[in-house]
Amino acid sequence: MLSLDGLEMIAVLVVMGLFIKVLEQFGMFEPVGGEDSVEDDFELSTVCHRPESMDKLQEQTKFTKKELQVLYRGFKNECPSGVVNEENFKTIYSQFFPQGDSSMYAHFLFEAFDTNKNGSVSFEDFVFGLSIILRGTINDRLNWAFNLYDLNKDGCITKEEMMDIMRSIYDMMGKYTYPTMQDDAPREHVESFFQKMDRNKDGVVTIEEFIESCKKDENIMQSMQLFDNVI
């Protein structure tokens, strides 16, 4: 079970941990057969959305050509149309939290990947985000996490936004916590989060405060390193 002690920091880490589950769901740890087989899929598949060429994606991300082939094969198996909508995205996450409700957290995560705000996540959207989460620098990863939690994208995290995030995490994982959470637990953890992150005590957390605070937390730094070279 997950202790509530320090749960305010899980908001920074949970996105990365869940991606391991998503990669496994997509079958992305299985070896690729032929090096050209998946690239042929890029050209021959009858899909609603065709991704950029392998070479272009390799230039734009930190994945090798073979890694992109593995990722595309898994993505295409789960999303034959070439894109995933929010409902499908939520379904993927719900499989890992059958005793909780992951829909709101999945919504926030989907919004972070849907950079074009068109209601769908393409393979390019997916690998661009994944490249940052798994292969980016510490600053890259923390910037991505900050953007996820800055719900209205105004450059700072408010207590209201963090409360929404915390409630979504409690909804998703609450029944696996110990001791059983109290109704006011999310608010307590938001206050603790701001006590650590809001350096100048102005009621909001900026990207600079967020990155500085995370870098000073050994648990966060150690946990982030676990995701290096996952695939």
Pair of tokens at residue 172: 């998703």
Identify the CA nearest to 57 among candidates 131, 118, 113. Answer: 131
pLDDT band at 108 (very low <50, low <70, confident <90, very high): very high
Mean pLDDT of the 77-90 span = 86
165 or 10, greater pLDDT? 165
pLDDT band at 116 (very low <50, low <70, confident <90, very high): confident
What DSSP assignment string belongs to 122-190?
EHHHHHHHHHHHHHS-HHHHHHHHHHHH-TT-SSEEEHHHHHHHHHHHHHHHGGGEESPPPTTHHHHHH
Q: Where are the domains of the chain?
A: 4-229
pLDDT band at 102 (very low <50, low <70, confident <90, very high): confident
Mean pLDDT of the 89-114 span = 86
Q: What are the Cα distances from residue 211, in Å, to 52, 78, 181, 185?
A: 32, 34, 28, 25
Q: β-pairing, 177-178 with 2-3? A: parallel
Which residues lie below 8 Å from residue 75, measured CB to CB, with a gap of 6+? Answer: 26, 123, 126
CATH superfamily to which 4-229 belongs: EF-hand (1.10.238.10)
Residue 225, pLDDT score = 72
Q: At what angle do helices 138-149 and 159-173 cross, to 10 degrees?
A: 90
Whether residue 218 has pLDDT greater than 90: no
Tens-place pLDDT, residues 41-71:
454 343 455 566 888 999 999 999 888 988 8
Place of tokens 């899909």: 47
Place of tokens 């149309």: 81
Whether residue 6 has pLDDT greater than 50: no
How many Cβ atoms are within 10 Å of 44's Cβ, its own excluded? 9
